[in-house]
């Protein structure tokens, strides 16, 4: 059985997930990313991570705004329901550019960092949409 943070009740675990569960955190991935590069390149890696987190924040905000937008009445068909703001597409392009920049550093560790960030954005947006729109 798998239980997910943010979706399932994990109160009985009392924060005791650790190496026994092969848990991966962003801090452990950051350490392995910085350990895999040379001393002179660490500043560039830090800038790439900063750019990735800033663009991920913009993408998250844009997704939340899209999910909280006003919608027409339930029975009214409209093609406007799924149109996104041009700023959202800009945020997506910037996030993809940031991902490519980080993947150039160390593809294996960077891929894991990106996967965690994308999963966090997806779960957070889905949860906020469910609470806002009363989706069951």
- Hey, is 71 helix, strand or coil? coil
Does a structural domain hold residue 60?
yes
Total of domains in the chain? 1
Angle, helices 42-67/86-103, rounded to nearest 10 degrees = 150
pTM equals 0.71
Residue 74 included in any domain? no
Q: Does residue 79 lie in a domain region?
A: no
Residues 6+ apart with CB under 8 A from 95: 52, 55, 56, 58, 59
pLDDT tens-digit profile of 71-125?
777 777 777 777 888 898 999 999 999 999 999 888 888 998 999 888 888 877 7
The model's pLDDT over 15-37, given as tens digits with 9 standing for 90+, comes to 544 444 445 678 888 888 898 88
CA 95, distance to chain mean position in Å, is 10
Q: Which residue range forms the structural domain that includes residue 104? A: 18-68+84-133
Are 94 and 58 in contact, with CB atoms under 8 Å apart? yes
Asked if the structure places residue 73 within a domain, the reply is no
Q: Is residue 12 domain-resident?
A: no
User: Is 113 inside a domain boundary?
Assistant: yes
Residue 6's nearest CA partner among 124, 111, 92, 103 is 124
Whether 5 is in a domain gets the answer: no
Q: Is residue 10 situated within a structural domain? A: no
Half-sphere exposure of 40 (CA within 13 A, CB side): 0
Neighbours of 29 (CB within 10 A): 20
């Amino acid at each position: 059985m798998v239980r997910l943070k943010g979706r399932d009740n994990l109160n009985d675990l009392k924060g005791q997930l650790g190496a026994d569960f092969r848990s991966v955190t962003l801090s452990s991935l950051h350490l392995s990313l910085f350990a895999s590069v040379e001393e002179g390149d660490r500043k560039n890696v830090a800038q790439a991570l900063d750019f990735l987190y800033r663009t991920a924040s913009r993408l998250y905000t844009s997704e939340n705004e899209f999910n909280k937008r006003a919608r027409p009445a339930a029975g009214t068909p409209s093609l406007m329901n799924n149109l996104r703001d041009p700023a959202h597409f800009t945020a997506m392009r910037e996030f993809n550019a940031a991902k490519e920049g980080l993947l150039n550093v160390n593809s294996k560790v960077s891929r894991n960092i990106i996967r965690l960030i994308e999963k966090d954005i997806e779960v957070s947006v889905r949860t906020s949409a469910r609470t806002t729109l009363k989706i069951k």
